[in-house]
Amino acid sequence: MKRVNGLNKLQVLIVDDEWNMRNLLRIYLIKEGITTKEASTGHEALSMLKQHTFDLVLLDVMMPDMDGWQVCKAVREESSVPILMLTARSETKDKVHGLGIGADDYLTKPFEPEELVARIYSILRRSIHTAAQQPVKNVLTYPELEIYPDAREVHILDTAVEFTLKEFDLLTALAQNAHRVFTREELVERLWGNDYEGENRVIDTHIKNIREKLHRAGLSYNPVQTVWGLGYKFELPGHHV
**pLDDT digits over 150-177, tens only?**
888 999 998 999 998 889 999 999 999 9
Residues with Cβ within 8 Å of 58's Cβ and at least 6 positions away in sequence, in order, are 12, 13, 14, 15, 16, 25, 84, 86
Instruction: Give the pLDDT score at 169.
Output: 92
- Give the domain ranges of the chain: 11-132, 140-234
User: Which amino acid type is present at position 186?
Assistant: E
Q: Over its length of 241 residues, how does the chain's per-residue pLDDT go in tens digits?
A: 334 444 447 899 999 999 999 999 999 999 888 899 999 999 999 999 988 889 999 999 988 888 998 999 899 888 888 999 998 776 667 677 777 788 888 888 888 889 999 989 888 887 765 555 544 447 888 899 999 888 889 999 989 999 988 899 999 999 999 889 999 999 988 888 776 666 778 899 999 999 999 999 999 999 999 999 899 999 987 655 4
C-alpha–C-alpha distance, residues 16 and 193, integer Å? 27
Q: How far is CA 191 from the centre of its chain?
A: 8
Integer CA distances (angstroms), 188 to 65, 183, 209, in order: 32, 9, 16
Instruction: Give the pLDDT score at 225.
Output: 94
Give me the architecture of the 140-234 domain, per CATH.
Orthogonal Bundle (1.10)
Query: Which CATH superfamily includes the segment(s) 11-132?
Result: Response regulator (3.40.50.2300)
What is this structure's pTM?
A: 0.57
Q: How many C-beta atoms surround the C-beta of residue 240 within 10 A?
A: 8
Instruction: Give the pLDDT score at 161.
Output: 93
Same fold? 11-132, 140-234: no
